[in-house]
Amino acid sequence: ISFDDQPDRFISPVPERTIGTRGINGPVWSPDGRQMAFIMDGVLWVVPVEPSGAIVGSPRLLTHELADAPSWTGDSQHIVFLATDRLKVIDLVDGHIESIPLDFTWSVHQPKTSFVVHAGKIFDGRSPTYRENVDIVIDGNRIKEIVPHQEGRTGMVIDASSRTIIPGLFEMHTHQHATAGEPLGRLWLAYGITSTREPGTEPYDALERKEAWASGRRKGPRAFYTGGLIDGNRIYYGMAVGNAAGSAQLELELNRAVALDYDMIKTYVRMPDQMQQRITAFAHHHGIPVSSHEIYPATHYGVDAVEHMGATSRRGYSPKLTALNNSYEDVVQLIIRSKMVITPTLSLHGGFYTLAMKDSSFFNHQQFLAFFEPSMKEQVHERVGRVIKMFPTYLSGFSNVQHTVKSILDGGGRITPGTDSPIIPPGISLHAELQSWANGGITPFEVIRSATLWSAESVGVSEDLGTVEQGKLADLVIVNGDPLKDVRDLLKVEMVIKNGVAFSLEELLKASE
C-alpha cells in the first residue's frame, strides 16, 4: 500500500496460494529490508525482496512444523516463531532451530468460601415447573445441596426469595477477538451467559482468553473453543486455515487441535467431503466433537453438529434454506434422524433486526446502556434498511425459518442457541435468539432448556453444567421475573454466579480497575 500516491500493488511469493490466516502470522519484513518471512501451508518460509517489496528470488522453506507469529531479530539473521505450544528461534544461516525456555504457569481459580442462596424459584434445567422457596448451599465452586429454606442460617446468605434462579446460559456460536478487550468478559456475564462456544477463532488469542477467565485474572465466562476453521483451497475469513485439504498441513492442524486441547473442530466450506470424513474420524478418535455448515454427507460421516439454518456451503448454494427462507422436509428429517445438533442462529437470519424494529423496548435494559454506544440503535435501524433493500425477503420470510426450527424441535431434534456475534452485537443477540424462538411458538421451558441443559450436553459438559443440581458447578443466574412465563425476563439479570463466585450486575457493568 503506497504512502506517496503511487498505485497499490499485490505480490505473492507463490501465485494462487493462501499466505497465512490474515492474523498473527505475517508476512513480516526483515529489519534490513531484504527478506520477507511468511507462513504458507502452516510452515515458515522466507523470500528475498527489493526495498520496494518486489520479490526477487524463490521462497525458501525453513520449518516442517507448524509456525505462527514470526518475528525477526534485529540482525535479520534469526526468526523467532511459535511452534504449536513452544517458542523457538531459527538461525537463517545454518538452519539450526532451538527452543526458547518458558516457565509460565497458571491455575483455575478455586474459591474457598461457602454461602447460601435463598431462592424464591428455581428452574433446574430439566423440569417445566419451578422448585420454590429453597436454599442452594454452595461450597467452593459446587452446589453442595439444595434443601427447603431454613431461617436463621449463619454466614453469607444471598436473599433471592423474590427472584428466580436459572442455570447459567450458553452462547453456542460466537467469534471473539482480543481487540474487544476486558469489557467483553463482563458483558457476557452481565447478560447471564456463563459459557461461550467459539466455533472458529485465532487459537492463541482464544486460549489466552479462556485461561484468563478461568484463572480469575479477568471476569468472564467459561470458554469452549476451536482454532481456525479448517478449510480447503484458500480462505474467506481470517480465522480460517487454508490449503489444508489433502496436504501435510491437515495432519499438522489436527495434531495442534490435540496439543492445544480444542473443545471442538469445525470444518469449513472449501474442505472436500472426503477430507471432512478424515477429520471427523481423527477428532472422534481423540474425543473431540466436529461441526460444520453441512448436513449431508456430514450426517453419514457422524459429524456431531451443524451451524446455521442457512450460511455458506461447499455446494455453492445453501442445501438447508431456499431464497424465500424455506427448508424442505429432507433437511428437517436429516437433522432429526441423525441426532445432529443444530444451532440455527435465528437472530442472525432476521430475528435480531425483527425485534429491533418491532419492539421499542428491546434496547431498554442496563446492559445495553453500559456496553454499547447510544448510536447503536440508529445504526441497527439503518442496517435494517440496507439489508431489506439487498434481500427483500430477509425479514418478510423470517417466520418460515422460525417454522422450520419449531418443526425440528417438535420432531425430536436438538437445537441450541447461538448468534454468530459480533456480526450482530454480542450478549443482546443471544436474548434476541431466545425471544425469536419463543415468538415462533417454542415454549419458554423448551427455550431455556436448550440454552442450558441441551447446550451443556452438546458441548459435552453436562456432568458439571447445564442444570441446578447437587454436585454441579455453581453457574447460576438470578433474574427478577418469571422466565418460564416470558423469556424476555431473562434480560432482568440481577446477579450472576460463575464457578462459585458471585457478581452483582452493578459490579459487572463497571470497568475493572
- Say whether pLDDT at 427 is over 70: yes
Segment 5-15, tens digit of pLDDT: 888 888 888 88
Segment 42-92, tens digit of pLDDT: 999 999 999 888 999 999 999 999 999 999 999 999 999 999 999 999 999
Name the residue with cell 465466562. 221
Q: CA 298: distance to chain centroid?
A: 21
pLDDT-derived band at 99, boundaries 50, 70, 90: very high
pLDDT at 363 (0 to 100): 92
Name the residue with cell 425459518. 401
How many Å apart are CA 93 and CA 77, to the nearest integer?
A: 7
How many Å apart are CA 43 and CA 36, to the nearest integer?
A: 14
Omega within 30 of 0 (cis) for the link into 422? yes
Beta strands at 265-266 and 290-292: parallel, antiparallel or unpaired: parallel
- Say whether pLDDT at 249 is over 90: no
Nearest to 88 by CA among 74, 69, 107: 69
Taking the C-alpha atoms of 103, 104, 105 and 108 in order, what is their torsion angle to the nearest 10 degrees? -160
pLDDT at 511 (0 to 100): 83
How many Å apart are CA 434 and CA 510, to the nearest integer?
A: 26
Segment 167-191, tens digit of pLDDT: 999 999 999 999 999 999 999 999 9
Taking each helix axis from N to C terminus, what angle separates 203-215 and 183-190, rounded to the nearest 10 degrees? 60
pLDDT at 387 (0 to 100): 83
As given in the structure block, the three cell numbers for residue 235 are 480462505
As given in the structure block, the three cell numbers for residue 127 are 423440569
pLDDT at 396 (0 to 100): 87
- Mean local confidence (pLDDT), 403-422: 97
For residues 45 and 59, the answer to whether their CB atoms sit within 8 Å is yes
pLDDT at 19 (0 to 100): 80
CA distances for 95 relative to 19, 63, 400, angstroms: 22, 9, 60
pLDDT at 233 (0 to 100): 77
Segment 364-376, tens digit of pLDDT: 999 999 999 988 8
SS3 of residue 109 by DSSP: coil
pLDDT at 346 (0 to 100): 96
CA distances for 359 relative to 231, 385, 393, 440, angstroms: 39, 16, 20, 15
SS3 of residue 214 by DSSP: helix
- Mean local confidence (pLDDT), 136-143: 98
How many Å apart are CA 293 and CA 314, to the nearest integer?
A: 9
SS3 of residue 445 by DSSP: helix
Residue type, 204: Y
How many Å apart are CA 423 and CA 345, to the nearest integer?
A: 11
pLDDT-derived band at 234, boundaries 50, 70, 90: confident
CA distances for 309 relative to 264, 322, 327, 371, angstroms: 20, 10, 8, 29
Residue type, 167: P
Segment 316-360, tens digit of pLDDT: 888 999 988 999 999 999 999 999 999 999 999 999 999 988 888
Cα radius of gyration (the chain): 25
pTM: 0.95
Burial class (CB in 10 A: 0-12, 13-18, 19+), 343: buried
Omega within 30 of 0 (cis) for the link into 297? yes
pLDDT at 245 (0 to 100): 66
Phi, psi (degrees; rounded to nearest 5) at 119:
-100, 130
- Per-chain mean pLDDT for the chain: 94
Q: Where are the beta strands (DSSP E) in 182-232?
A: 193-198, 222-225, 229-230
Share of the chain above pLDDT 70, in %: 99
pLDDT at 43 (0 to 100): 94
pLDDT at 513 (0 to 100): 63
Query: Higher model confidence: residue 280 or residue 246?
Result: 280
pLDDT at 71 (0 to 100): 97
